């Protein structure tokens, strides 16, 4: 089975922390990951669109920008028309994640916005079900639409335990579904 691509864009490091948490939870299920960034950030290599087309599943995240994905990620998706025409991502599982500086900074809107190109590509969206206790107890990030984080006005808040648990549950769910679809 091809690795699950954990693809992100991060400016302050919060989305990168979510990506790494997701990758760890996927790998804990015995599934390989490939961590890539939309634009070079010095932590992980920049994605090659061939890696996107060949992945078995996708975890995709960017910071919240007024309830939308970061422009760098949108620009990347605008380069995938040929992939879309060929149906290269159809029926591959996917999940989304984001971070904003405030509690009402647009996390849920961004998670839905991140899902839009995935659905256009025919991907199978995986969310966080309410049997994950942290989803009901969180006072910061996390939603049924995906994992999220509230980084604070100065981008200095670490992932909370609830945010980590939600992220781990999402990664486990993505890995489990991907394995089932590839057996």
User: Where in the chain are the domains?
Assistant: 4-182
pTM of whole model > 0.85? yes
Give me the chain's average pLDDT, please: 96
Question: With bands split at pLDDT 50, 70 and 90, how would you rate the model's confidence at 46?
Answer: very high
Q: What is the pLDDT of residues 65-95, one digit of tens each?
A: 999 999 999 999 999 999 999 999 999 999 9
The closest alpha carbon to 101, from 160, 161, 150, 142, belongs to 150
Q: Which two tokens stand for residue 35?
A: 């961590």
Q: What is the pLDDT of residues 107-156, one digit of tens each?
A: 999 999 999 999 999 999 999 999 999 999 999 999 999 999 999 988 88
3-class DSSP state of 106:
coil
pLDDT for position 158? 95
Number of H helices, E strands in the chain: 7, 6
Q: Which CATH superfamily is domain 4-182 in?
A: Flavodoxin domain (3.40.50.360)
Question: With bands split at pLDDT 50, 70 and 90, how would you rate the model's confidence at 175?
Answer: very high
pLDDT for position 13? 93
Question: With bands split at pLDDT 50, 70 and 90, how would you rate the model's confidence at 38?
Answer: very high
b vs e for 71-94, b when ≥16 Cβ sit within 10 Å of the residue's Cβ?
eebbebbeebeebeeeebbeebbb
Residue 180's alpha-carbon distances to 1, 22, 119, 159, in angstroms, are 11, 19, 20, 30
Question: With bands split at pLDDT 50, 70 and 90, how would you rate the model's confidence at 41?
Answer: confident
Backbone dihedral angles phi then psi of residue 181, each to the nearest 5 degrees = -75, -20
CA distance 68 to 106: 8
């Amino acid at each position: 089975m091809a690795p699950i691509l954990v693809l992100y864009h991060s400016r302050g490091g919060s989305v990168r922390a979510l990506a790494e948490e997701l990758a760890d939870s996927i790998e804990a299920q015995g599934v390989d990951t490939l961590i890539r960034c939309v634009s070079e950030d010095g932590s992980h290599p920049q994605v090659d669109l061939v890696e996107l087309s060949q992945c078995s599943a996708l975890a995709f995240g960017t910071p919240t920008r007024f309830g939308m994905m970061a422009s760098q990620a949108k620009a990347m998706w605008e380069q995938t028309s040929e992939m879309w025409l060929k149906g290269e991502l159809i029926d591959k599982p996917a999940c989304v994640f984001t971070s904003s500086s405030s509690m009402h900074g647009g996390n849920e809107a961004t998670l839905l916005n991140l899902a839009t190109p995935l659905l256009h590509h025919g991907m199978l969206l995986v969310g966080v079900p309410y049997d994950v206790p942290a989803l009901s107890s969180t006072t910061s990030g996390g939603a049924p639409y995906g994992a999220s984080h509230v980084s604070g006005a100065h981008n200095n808040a670490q992932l909370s335990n609830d945010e980590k648990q939600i992220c781990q549950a999402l990664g486990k769910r993505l890995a489990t579904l991907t394995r089932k679809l590839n057996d």
